Amino acid sequence: MSELYNFLTIPFLLAMFLALNMGASGTSPSFSAAYGANVIKRSMIPGLFGIMVLAGALLAGKEVTLTLGSGLIDQTFFTPVNTSIVLLAIGLSLLISNLLGVPQSTSQSTVLSIAGAATAVGGLNTHKLFYEIIPAWFILPVISFLLMLTLTKWIFPLIKSKVYSYDYSHMKSHAGFKLILILASCYVAFSIGANNVANAAAPISSLTINALGSESIQNFLPITILSVLIIAPCFGIGSSLLGHKVTESQGRNMVHVTPFNATVIAIIVASLLLIASVSKGIPTSLVQLNGAAFIALSISSNGWSPTFSNKTVKRFFLVWAIAPVFAFILTYILIKMVS
């Protein structure tokens, strides 16, 4: 048994470290609006975020875990070395994105890292990748963009209520809207749990099954739940250790986005993420769904040309294209080297 622990230690530590970083980055799209509006204390965010992520992973994360654990490549691939390489490639791609100051999709890096490994060993499920996952990566952000553009350009201007234009300083006197903002934040965290926990939990679930032997395959679900129970709390820990910096900077300085718009974006993004999770088990990008909605909001406010000439928007598209490809190539090379 001690030998088994030795085999599993490094992959589990890498998965937990990845979850810590995902928890830190996921706190901002979940709770930055609520924090910026002063409707929730900073000390409450990590615990609430962690609880909702865990609930989302347990209640709605099964299909995504199956996709990443065995849908793209046979789960027997996930040996300690191979799993460590996959998790390392994902972590390095996210590190590059963080150094450039651009939020990156962990899900896309995870999928392409596993795809790179599968290509190296000749076991890639091309139908799942090219006919289900990649099309969803293009379709869902377009839906997020079109929904937000339609609402902000044609629907919301018809609303006579002053709530639409209230800034964060007005929120103290609106108890009902404060509750809605908190619920929307929890909804985003739940959807993150349903989709993103699998990025770290799925590889180690398959690894654990392989380490325990073929007879343990019938216990896939309990092992997956155990993996989620180990990984999901790391999101809350990451939020507690690192998330407050991102939340404070993005929440306090979000002066160009009203609480109303921030709530609408949260609901749109969380709904699309949750639908992708429970319907087809598609690992997809919260960052890109969020970014597409904010680009639509910018177009409604500033126009097309100023939005797409913005340096930050250009950097987003560049890094979104490069980071997952980097994960694919790095994993492919490393798997080829060790095999």
The pLDDT tens digits of the residues spanning 213-234 come to 655 556 666 778 888 888 888 8
What is the 3 state secondary structure string of the chain? CHHHHHHHHHHHHHHHHHHHHHHHHHHHHHHHHHHHCCCCCHHHHHHHHHHHHHHHHHHHCHHHHHHHHHHCCCHHHCCHHHHHHHHHHHHHHHHHHHHCCCCCCHHHHHHHHHHHHHHHHCCCCHHHHHHHHHHHHHHHHHHHHHHHHHHHHHHHHHCCCHHHHCCHHHHHHCHHHHHHHHHHHHHHHHHHHHHHCHHHHHHHHHHHHHHHCHHHHHHHHHHHHHHHHHHHHHHHHHHHHHHHHHHHHHHHCCCCCCHHHHHHHHHHHHHHHHHHHHHCCCCCCHHHHHHHHHHHHHHHHHCHHHHHCCHHHHHHHHHHHHHHHHHHHHHHHHHHHHC
Record the pTM.
Answer: 0.89
At 53, the amino acid letter reads: V
Tell me if 86 sits within 8 A of 114, measured CB to CB. Answer: yes
Lowest mean pLDDT across 7-16, 136-145, 254-263: 254-263
Is the pLDDT confidence value at 255 over 70?
no
Band of pLDDT at residue 165, cut at 50, 70 and 90: low
In this predicted model, which residue has the larger pLDDT, 41 or 85? Answer: 85
The pLDDT tens digits of the residues spanning 9-39 come to 889 889 988 888 788 777 777 777 777 667 7
Domain boundaries along the sequence of the chain:
2-338
